[in-house]
């Protein structure tokens, strides 16, 4: 009888441990499905797409930027020199799908950043395949420049276009995200990203 109780107790413990491990696995899988990039791969986002970098030289500016991925952190810094009569900018693009294709992220409310801003102005844009004039839905990223990482949540509903008609962001048509340093005057910028995810 004692042996039977002992075996039953051991079986119950095994079931409990297995259940905990299974739930832990589901939790990790759920978190991974939200993750866009944790910068632990030197060149690819979690969607297997290569990161891209653009600046205002395509519009006549002379902004200079340096990007580095090290120890699962992304760092961008440089000097913004705007083109005449336009803002200067340097954009770090995180593709979610191949060029021209879209990812449906309508199950999420917005984008979450773990970001450290050391200097400069930063914005975040969600780049929809429906937008053809590059005026993507965007929002400023405002954090203290205190040398620490901060969690910032940017709701899709608060992202606006700058010069075009204010249309709602179609979250079923997102191709990429852009973290952009910008300024109207020549200035320096520097920021780091620890993680980018949906929430």
Q: What is the mean pLDDT of each run of 10 residues along the chain (199 residues)?
A: 45 35 34 81 97 94 96 98 94 96 96 98 98 96 96 98 95 98 97 98
**Cα angle 191-194-196, degrees, rounded to a multiple of 5:** 100
**Domain count for the chain:** 1
- Residue 10 within a domain: no
pLDDT at 12: 36
In a domain, 22, yes or no: no
pLDDT in the model for residue 55: 96
| Residue-wise pLDDT tens digits, 65-121 | 999 999 999 999 999 999 998 999 999 999 999 999 999 999 999 999 999 999 999
Residue 98 lies in a domain: yes
Tell which residue, 45, 128, 58, has the closest CA to residue 89. Answer: 58
Which of 173, 177, 131, 123 has the alpha carbon at shortest distance from 152? 123
Residue 26, domain member (yes or no) = no
| Per-residue confidence (pLDDT) for residue 33, from 0 to 100 | 61
CATH number at residue 38: 2.60.120.430
Query: Which secondary-structure segment (H or E) carries 12?
Result: helix 2-34
Residue 1 included in any domain: no
Note whether residue 39 is domain-resident: yes
Q: At a CB cut-off of 8 Å and minimum separation 6, what does 79 contact?
A: 63, 64, 186, 187, 188, 189
Residues 6+ positions from 168 with CB-CB distance below 8 Å: none
> Which residue segment(s) compose the domain that 39 sits in?
34-198
Asked if residue 171 belongs to a domain, the reply is yes
- Helix, strand or coil, per DSSP, at residue 156: helix
Residue partners of 160: CB distance under 8 A and separation at least 6: 137, 138, 139, 166
- Looking at the domain assignment, is residue 115 inside a domain? yes
């Amino acid at each position: 009888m004692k042996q039977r109780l002992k075996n039953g107790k051991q079986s119950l413990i095994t079931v409990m441990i297995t259940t905990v491990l299974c739930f832990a696995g589901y939790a990790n899988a759920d978190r991974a499905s939200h993750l866009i990039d944790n910068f632990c791969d030197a060149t690819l986002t979690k969607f297997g797409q290569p990161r891209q970098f653009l600046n205002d030289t395509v519009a006549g500016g002379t902004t200079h930027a340096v990007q580095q991925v090290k120890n699962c952190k992304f760092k961008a810094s440089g000097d913004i020199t705007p083109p005449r009569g336009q803002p200067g900018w340097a954009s770090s693009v995180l593709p979610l799908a191949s060029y021209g294709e879209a990812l449906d992220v309508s199950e999420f409310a917005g984008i979450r950043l773990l970001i450290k801003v050391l200097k400069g102005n930063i914005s975040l844009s969600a780049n929809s395949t429906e937008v053809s004039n590059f005026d993507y839905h965007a929002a400023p990223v405002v954090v203290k420049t205190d040398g620490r990482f901060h969690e910032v949540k940017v709701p899709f509903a608060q992202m606006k276009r700058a010069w075009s008609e204010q249309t709602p962001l179609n979250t079923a048509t997102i191709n990429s995200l852009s973290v952009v340093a910008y300024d109207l005057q020549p200035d320096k910028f520097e920021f780091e990203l620890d993680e980018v995810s949906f929430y």
